[in-house]
A and B are shown apart, each in its own frame.
Chain A
């Protein structure tokens, strides 16, 4: 977390007021740490089948953590990888459960788009992850492969500003259409938004109504 984050109730920095677990916070999210093969379980089979099908450059890293498989995919190949994941008989990931974003400001490619896939045929799950930088936040849309990604890509665009190329209607979905900024980015503060009413009346944002200091 960035140290200049400003939060509700005047929380600054990490919010660690007591040093319960030591004052220095590690930055374990600064880079992706790949897991060496073999990965165990069905993970090896999934990774092998996938790498046989697609461009070898499309898989950047494979991470196995807490019994979950994460495949870091090159952003230009994500639609191709998703199509292979859905259509191949050995993979058959029919259902795209979730598409969402995570912001890691310490990384060069700070925006990660996370796709959760489920194979109903084999009862397997896998997570695909794509990362893009702030300067070039473009990811090919997977709506053609998984139509369910439509609203979820819109939400990710709305919250992180990641642009999904080829999306049929990439507009804000949860925030108002004329909203400025992308609320889920780590450098976007919590609070500070006044409550608006008719006739230009407004109530101060919650973090400015009272002083807690």
Chain B
């Protein structure tokens, strides 16, 4: 305060506050001298660092993620993510269940992309078994995966919007995701964690109503995407909050193992659907959107465009859907039940129960053994990677020749990508930590498994 009064009373020759005349008027430059001592005298801890703990219960950390942030003023000097709050031992649990029951566990890992977890796991089991699933099952898997990708990106967009204060985006994102969950419910009986994809094919065929509903969705969704575009892309606040924020270039992504939209937003068009195709993706006509910004803005644009491309894939897949089986022919692998919707939900059809209980003892024994004990899988190990909404989802599966997985490990993109949070956030502002974390779009259920 005393310094200020000094500067007001001194003339233009003052050593501490020199002045010069500009077109805007007189400008004072207040630097040098003993200013640091003066400020330090008032606030002795001005250069001290402050450790701030964010989470694990925090509305902006995208789940039960804890961030320990070392702050210097408003600037993040060091950041350490702490994970594990949602560890449920999915990998260990599958070792104690049959191969088929494994799908009901893996589907709960990344709960926003259940179909991807199931498909990656089932592709791995099928690779170990050496079986080929019927064409219709593969096409339905593709349809479900791409719908799931849209649903997942919608939640990613919605929660990012919420965390940045764009609450209307949250409402629209969750509203339109509900449409997709309705389709999942029509197809499988469940909105989330459906265990719809099974080793050897699918739990059941896609009903006609679901196909009608998907067609309606294909007509409905492009308008919504246009709305999001109009709501956010031109929005000055959205641009300011995301452009140039949370920068991570290609070499940074590769070193940290970051894949998915984050890598593509850095400019590398690495999409396993194109580069190492599975489920017949090489036969679909779609593009891999990329951006060169390597920032949160580029990731947003990539995700938006990926949703459009997913719609294209779903449309093509619906057109090539031919009637046929959705489970392998081999009765030693195919789930014996014939599911149908009953008065109390989904279950075995009455005709199937009547047949195994009243007409065929062998069918009953077969059903009982396959359901309680499960099928055997030849010994060996495989690693199957697929392109999940957040990046590469890989399943490393080891069999000892028994009826249960010997070891199942999920290479979860959320887990790997979260390693990049310090890289994108350190040196930036605290507010940008939120943007950086949200732009990586981690799902803690997948991260912690």
Contact = CB atoms under 8 A, between A and B. Distances in A.
Interface residues of B, number: 53
A36 interface: no
A88 interface: no
Interface in B286-327: none
Contacts of A147: 255-257, 419
A123 B275 contact: yes
Interface in B379-423: 379-383, 385, 392, 394, 396, 398, 400-404, 406-407, 409, 411, 415-416, 418-419
Given A1-B400, A176-B84, A100 B409 contact: yes
Interface stretch (B13-21, B85-93, B152-160, B181-189): B85-93
Size bin of chain A's contact surface? 35 or more
Most buried by A among B128, B409, B415, B448: B409
Contact of A183 (B89, B128, B380): B89
Given A16-B373, A123-B276, A190 B383 contact: no
B213 interface: no
A127 B416 contact: no
Nearest to B402: A25
Chain B, interface SS category: mixed
20 contacts: A18-B368, A18-B369, A18-B372, A20-B369, A21-B403, A29-B400, A29-B406, A102-B398, A116-B394, A116-B411, A125-B276, A125-B383, A127-B383, A148-B255, A148-B257, A148-B419, A151-B418, A151-B419, A183-B92, A190-B95
A43 to B, nearest CB: 15
B224 interface: no
Nearest to A150: B419
Contacts of B255: 146-148
Nearest to A155: B415
B270 interface: yes
Interface of B: 83-84, 87, 89, 91-93, 95-96, 127-128, 130, 254-259, 268, 270, 275-276, 368-370, 372-373, 376, 379-383, 385, 392, 394, 396, 398, 400-404, 406-407, 409, 411, 415-416, 418-419, 448-449
Interface string A72-113: 000000000000000000000011111010110000000000
Contact of A94 (B128, B254, B376): B254
A70 B381 CA distance: 10
A98 B372 contact: no
A53 to B, nearest CB: 21
Contacts of A1: 400, 402, 406
A151 B447 CA distance: 11
Among A8, A66, A94, A127, the one with the most B-chain Cβ atoms within 10 Å of its Cβ is: A66
Contacts of A184: 91-92, 407
Contacts of B87: 174-175
A17 to B, nearest CB: 6
Contacts of B401: 25-26, 28
A15 B404 contact: yes
Contacts of B448: 174
B270 A120 contact: yes
